[in-house]
Amino acid sequence: MQEVLLVIKEQMQFAGVASRIAKYSNKALYQSHLLGNLWQVLNPLIQLGVYYFAFGVAMGGNRTVQGGIPYISWLMIGLSTWIFASTITKQASSSVYSQVGMVSRMKFPLSILPLVKIFSELTNYFVFLALSLVVSFVGGVSPSIYWIQFIYYLFAMLVFLYSFSLINSTVAALIRDYQIFLNSIMQVLMYLSGVMWDLSTRNLPPAVSKLLMLNPYAYLITGFRNTFFYHRWFFEDRAQTIIFWLITFFCLIVGSHIHIKFRSKFIDYM
């Protein structure tokens, strides 16, 4: 437990450093481009346009899902969550071995590197989410009091992604093949997390549907949809919420333990 407290303390102490590194990384990424940081808005806009044409026009713009929600609106909320979560999961897994040389020359802990990746992608996520909500407004979805729990699901997503990334970044630094394995798993999880289809309404045995909902990514995607479309509080799904946080805390405990144990040896493994 002391390792978990140490990691949490480091995140609180160096959050400002992580934010500045993220801003510098994004600036460096786009500085040679004519449009510069405007690409942080254009990239989500282009992605949204592609998905809107593919699923909202080419496949029938009048399709609806449970509750009469336009499918394209329902899909966009799920995609905004999945694209952010999967991008962080994959990129943060390489954060240690790709940046360990820089950290060896600077005074901040390796444990903030997954947090840097999270900060780097937050702008893209908020832009994509805002565009998704615009599509929802056009489709007839109206704001409600339930939207305040967006704060809960955002917090839950960030804590889970950091905790899981702490494990992934440590293991990937020790076993480089793990990065390839993780990328393959994430491709499979896209179809098992309910991004494009509703896990609760498919013709699946109830036991299988419940098993799929134990997936933390499915919990988050379903949670954001419950927030914006289905007027359902997070504490109404008590069992799934408890399981999600148990998985998250397990990842945080394991991630903190192996990170603290091996971080002094990361340079030797590079």
pLDDT at 93: 83
pLDDT at 42: 65
pLDDT at 173: 81
pLDDT at 52: 67
DSSP 148-189: GGHHHHHHHHHHHHHHHHHHHHHHHHH-THHHHHHHHHHHHH
pLDDT at 29: 61
Cα–Cα distance, 168 to 217 (Å, whole number): 16
Number of structural domains (the chain) is: 1
Give me the domain span that covers residue 179.
2-269
Please identify every stretch of the chain with a pLDDT value under 70, giving residue numbers as ranges: 26-45, 47-48, 51-62, 97-106, 201-203, 264-270
Strand partners, 64: 70
pLDDT at 165: 92
Whether 194 contacts 221, CB under 8 Å: yes
Element (H, E) at 225: helix 216-225
pLDDT at 155: 97
